[in-house]
């Protein structure tokens, strides 16, 4: 049985004057990830909200965002906005409708799994070619869409 993540959120809250939190997608060591609605565009995004907004944390957040926002490649999510507003820091990115690799692997045939792992290797190779590391590569962070 899949356990629901525990994020702190209010459905009435609009972050950065633009993003309404819809539901919690996951909780990491330093951040929570939500599905959010961009109320200006009517688009759904993933929103990574950092729990600490100290100067050191903000430097790391901005560095991570700038590095990743400049990379567009198959198999990697696109990054949209970085917002630092009072004591809130977050960035938005493409929302992927998919299952974690561990769930996909339980049901997948060998050829399907090899195909997905080939795509993962290609995406990681693209990061490495640009001198970047993923730093949190694990099955839970690899989402497989219905189309594979």
Distances (CA, A) of 69 to 59, 81, 93, 125, 137: 15, 9, 9, 17, 18
Q: What letter does residue 41 receive in the DSSP assignment? A: T
- The answer to whether residues 91 and 65 touch, using CB atoms and an 8 Å cutoff, is yes
Tokens standing for residue 124: 């990681």
Cα-flanking dihedrals φ and ψ of residue 65, to 5°?
A: -65, -50
Active site residue 136: yes
For the chain, the distance separating the N- and C-terminal CA atoms, rounded to the nearest angstrom, is: 23
8-state DSSP, 141 = G
CB 96 within 8 A of CB 40: no
Catalytic residue among 12, 87, 97, 136: 136
Structure tokens at 94: 């493409």
Q: Which residues are catalytic?
A: 136
């Amino acid at each position: 049985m899949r356990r629901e993540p525990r994020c702190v959120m209010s459905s009435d809250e609009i972050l950065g004057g633009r993003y309404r939190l819809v539901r919690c997608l996951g909780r990491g060591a330093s951040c929570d990830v939500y599905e959010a609605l961009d109320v200006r565009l009517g688009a759904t995004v993933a929103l990574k909200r950092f729990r600490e907004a100290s100067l050191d944390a903000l430097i790391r957040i901005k560095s991570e965002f700038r590095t990743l926002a400049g990379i567009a490649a198959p198999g990697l999510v696109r990054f949209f906005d970085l917002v630092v507003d009072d004591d809130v820091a977050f960035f938005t990115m493409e929302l992927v409708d998919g299952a974690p690799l561990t769930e996909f692997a339980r049901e997948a045939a060998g050829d399907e799994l090899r195909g997905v792992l080939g795509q993962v290797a290609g995406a990681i190779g693209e990061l490495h070619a640009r001198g970047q590391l993923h730093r949190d590569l694990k099955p839970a962070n690899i989402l497989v869409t219905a189309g594979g």
